[in-house]
Amino acid sequence: MKPDIAQRRAGGKRRTRVAGLGARRKPARLRAAGEAGAVMRAPKVDLGGLDQFTGYVVRRAQVWIFQDFKRALKDLDVTPAQFSVLKIIAANPGIAQARVAEALSIERARLVQMLDRLEAPGLISRIRSAIDRRSHALHLTGEGARMLERLEERIEEHERNVVERLGAKGKSELLRLLGPFLL
């Protein structure tokens, strides 16, 4: 059984046994906290070992990194997902939508809208294939290529923020550790 937060807070070495429902000589506020109808006050929240679960830690790191990405690129208005699509198209000129979706594990139905938003400002082009008329060949436009360059500059700055927390050696260690998760 876990002692209530107020008890732990008031406790320290002085506390030898955990209070049940019976009152102690603590101030009413502290005595009540943890009992039904009382709320925890100011003290820091106990994560309860959550930070020992890989999923929790990786998720928090991912959120931090994406927020910093967003902040570093806010005036260019490009999301991490959009950036990854641009990179794939740049590296594979003429690639079909289904291949991009596959490579990034984006639903191809979802990719349609993503490409709409890259095509509208003229960053990419969709051209019906002459070979397989079901599919579209994707290419970066000149504007798209210039945009990608601008993005990469900003992302360098962002990566420096990440490496600041990771250490230069830390980044390569991290990439090595997480390699097996890239399906």
Partner DNA sequence: TATTGTTATACTCTATAACTATA
Partner DNA sequence: TATAGTTATAGAGTATAACAATA
* Residue 106 site contact among its own copies, DNA, none (CB < 5 to 8 Å, cut-off depends on kind): DNA
Contact mark string toward DNA, 134..173, x via CB under 7 A: xxx-------------------------------------
Report the C-alpha gap between 20 and 12 in whole angstroms: 17
Contact mark string toward DNA, 106..125, x via CB under 7 A: xxxxx-x-xx----------
Q: Is 153 in the site for its own copies (CB under 8 A)?
A: no
- Total interface residues for DNA by CB under 7 A: 24
Q: Is 106 in the site for its own copies (CB under 8 A)?
A: no
Q: Is 133 in the site for DNA (CB under 7 A)?
A: yes
Candidates 74, 91, 94, 132: give the one binding DNA (CB under 7 A).
132
Contacts with DNA by CB under 7 A lie at: 39, 63, 67, 79, 81, 96-98, 101, 106-110, 112, 114-115, 126, 131-136
